[in-house]
Amino acid sequence: MTTNGARPALPGRPDNVLRLTDGRLLGYGDFGDPNGTPLMMFHGFPGSRVTSAIGHEAAARAGVRVIAPDRPGMGLSTFQRGRRILDWPADVVQLADALGLSRFAVAGVSGGGPYAAVCALRLADRLTGAAIISGVAPFDAPDATQGMNRMNRILFTVAGRAPWLARLPMLLFQFAARSPERAIDRAIGAMPEADRAIMRRREVRALFADDFAEAFRAGSRGPAWELVLYARPWGFRLQDIAMEVHLWQGEADKNVPVVMGRYQAAAIPNCRATFFPGEGHLLIIDRMEEILGAAVARPVA
């Protein structure tokens, strides 16, 4: 399953595949309470459905079924040439229909934030709730990279100004994903203390290493295109989202700086935002049950 040897067994049903109407495969994990309130959880960057396994027990306690799809070109999902962020809701609808879900919530973590936002815009009639956690904002927002760590700032700047070069850093990431534990250890050094403390936990570090390897399971093409999509105009406006959106953001986040959270909180008309002083990018890990409960607060009709 992973790029480099066997991985520890994940909880729930982590390795599912749906064939879409255009012939592509959509990989997804199924975690938490199998009979619970459904929520589609959109992973970060680079990432995969595997990251949602960390919330399996919290979701089960909260009575939430977490369905975590891989985006195209990552994990088990087929690459989609020329895709846009705006194309994602169509895949989500096909997955929901295949699972018999007439209503469901969505949540996007980090790089999954734009995908939760576009679903809130396009699928409001199907959604019971929408949430953005430590979510990336449009890079044409004022001072978008203020407070961002150097690596991310370089990656997004390159992708925005010279998208044809985005493949190069992702090839390096793909090489690093052959030894994912070592790559994670290097990344920890650039994190704020709040995130370093979380990543020192053995089970968290192991799962993020597995997720990093899985993101590059099919190579670097999918992550490289994803990087370009974040950096270019998204094709929709946060200001046009009518439904309520919950937003959680750590004020010490260096991956997705707090300026991005504040921009989204101001741009989305009906945004219920909570900011956490001293907390970083990984705040969801210790607040999983709280966040899941709020994200699915509206009853399914």
Crossing angle between the packed helical segments 150-161 and 221-231, to the nearest 10 degrees? 80
Per-chain mean pLDDT for the chain: 94
Residue 106: the pLDDT is: 98
Q: Let me know: does 241 contact 121? Beta carbons within 8 Å.
A: yes
Residue 71: the pLDDT is: 99
pLDDT of 1 over the 70 cut: no
How would residue 7 be classed by pLDDT, with cut points 50, 70 and 90?
low
Residue 74: the pLDDT is: 98
**What is the Cα–Cα distance from 153 to 256, expressed in whole angstroms?**
10
pLDDT of 297 over the 90 cut: no
Q: Is 267 exposed, middle or buried (0-12, 13-18, 19+ CB in 10 A)?
A: middle
Cα dihedral 194→197→200→205 (10° resolution): -30
Q: Is 22 exposed, middle or buried (0-12, 13-18, 19+ CB in 10 A)?
A: exposed
Residue 86: the pLDDT is: 99
Cα dihedral 280→221→107→146 (10° resolution): 40
- 3-class SS at 202? helix
**Rounded to 5 degrees, what are φ and ψ at 153?**
-60, -40
pLDDT of 72 over the 60 cut: yes
Q: Which residues of 229-250 are buried (b: 16+ CB within 10 A; e: fewer)?
A: bbbbebebebeebebbbbbbbb
The pLDDT tens digits of the residues spanning 90-139 come to 999 999 999 999 999 999 999 999 999 999 999 999 999 999 999 999 99
The pTM of this model reads 0.95
Q: Let me know: does 114 contact 234? Beta carbons within 8 Å.
A: yes
The pLDDT tens digits of the residues spanning 237-250 come to 999 999 999 999 99
Residue spans of the domains in the chain: they are 13-295
Q: Which residue from 295, 15, 17, 12 is spatially nearest to 135, judged by alpha carbons? A: 295
How would residue 228 be classed by pLDDT, with cut points 50, 70 and 90?
very high
pLDDT of 181 over the 70 cut: yes
Please give the CATH topology (third level) of the domain spanning 13-295. Answer: Rossmann fold (3.40.50)
pLDDT of 11 over the 90 cut: no
